[in-house]
Amino acid sequence: MRSAPAVGWEDGGVPVGEGVTGPGVVVRGRVVTPDEVIEDGVVAVDGAGIHWVGPASQAPEPWLAGPPTADTILPGLVDIHCHGGGGASFPDATSPDEVAAGAAEHLRHGTTSLVGSLVTAAGDVLAQRAALLADAVEAGILAGIHAEGPFLSYERRGAQSPDHLVAGDPALVRRLVEASRGTLVTMTVAPEVPGVVAPPDDVLAALVEGGAVPSIGHTDGSAEQAEAAIARAVALLAGHPRRPTATHLFNGMRPLHHREPGPVAACLAAAARGELVVELVADGTHLADATVRAVFDLVGPDAIALVTDAMAAAGLGDGDYQLGPMRVRVADGVARLVTADGSAGAIAGGVAHLLDVVRCTVAAGVPLVAAVRAASVTPAGVVGLTGRGGLVAGHRADLVVVDGDLRPRRVMREGRWAYDEAASA
Read off the pLDDT of each residue in 341-368 and give the average, rounded to a whole number: 92
DSSP string for residues in 117-166:
EEES--HHHHHHHHHHHHHHHHTTS-SEEEEE-SS--STT-TTS-GGG--
Is pLDDT larger for residue 17 or for residue 254? 254
Based on the domain organization, do 117 and 60 belong to the same domain? no
Is the pLDDT reported for residue 1 higher than 50? no
Quick: pLDDT tens for 55-94: 999 998 878 866 778 899 999 999 999 999 999 999 999 9
Rounded distance, CA 364 to CA 350, Å? 18
Predicted local distance difference test score (pLDDT) of residue 13: 38
Based on the domain organization, do 314 and 416 belong to the same domain? no
Read off the pLDDT of each residue in 336-357 and give the average, rounded to a whole number: 87
- 216 in Cβ contact with 246 (< 8 Å): yes
Is the pLDDT reported for residue 343 higher than 80? no
**Could you say which DSSP state residue 374 is in?**
H
Structural domains in the chain (count): 2
Based on the domain organization, do 215 and 269 belong to the same domain? yes
Quick: pLDDT tens for 369-380: 999 999 999 999
Is the pLDDT reported for residue 109 higher than 60? yes
For residue 367, the tally of other CB atoms under 10 A from its CB is 13
Sign of CA dihedral 252, 249, 367, 421: negative
Question: In this structure, what are the phi and psi dihedrals at residue 84, rounded to the nearest 5 degrees?
Answer: 145, -170
Based on the domain organization, do 295 and 350 belong to the same domain? yes
In which domain, by residue range, is 394 found?
2-75+390-424
Based on the domain organization, do 53 and 114 belong to the same domain? no
Predicted local distance difference test score (pLDDT) of residue 65: 67
Is the pLDDT reported for residue 2 higher than 60? no
Is the pLDDT reported for residue 271 higher than 80? yes
Based on the domain organization, do 302 and 288 belong to the same domain? yes
Read off the pLDDT of each residue in 308-323 and give the average, rounded to a whole number: 90
Based on the domain organization, do 35 and 103 belong to the same domain? no
Predicted local distance difference test score (pLDDT) of residue 348: 84
Is the pLDDT reported for residue 344 higher than 90? no
Is the pLDDT reported for residue 331 higher than 50? yes
- 386 in Cβ contact with 285 (< 8 Å): no
Predicted local distance difference test score (pLDDT) of residue 49: 96
Based on the domain organization, do 157 and 32 belong to the same domain? no
Radius of gyration of the chain (CA): 21
Predicted local distance difference test score (pLDDT) of residue 272: 98
Per-residue pLDDT band at 353 (split at 50, 70, 90): very high
**Could you say which DSSP state residue 225 is in?**
H
Quick: pLDDT tens for 176-218: 999 999 999 999 999 999 999 999 999 999 999 999 999 999 9
CATH number of 139's domain: 3.20.20.140
Output the average pLDDT for the chain. 91
Rounded distance, CA 220 to CA 230, Å? 15
Quick: pLDDT tens for 227-248: 999 999 999 999 999 999 999 9
Question: In this structure, what are the phi and psi dihedrals at residue 297, rounded to the nearest 5 degrees?
Answer: -65, -35
Quick: pLDDT tens for 382-412: 999 999 999 999 999 999 999 999 999 999 9
- 204 in Cβ contact with 197 (< 8 Å): yes
Share of the chain above pLDDT 90, in %: 81
Per-residue pLDDT band at 332 (split at 50, 70, 90): confident
Based on the domain organization, do 227 and 159 belong to the same domain? yes
Q: Of 15, 168, 147, which Cα lies nearest the Cα of 80?
A: 147
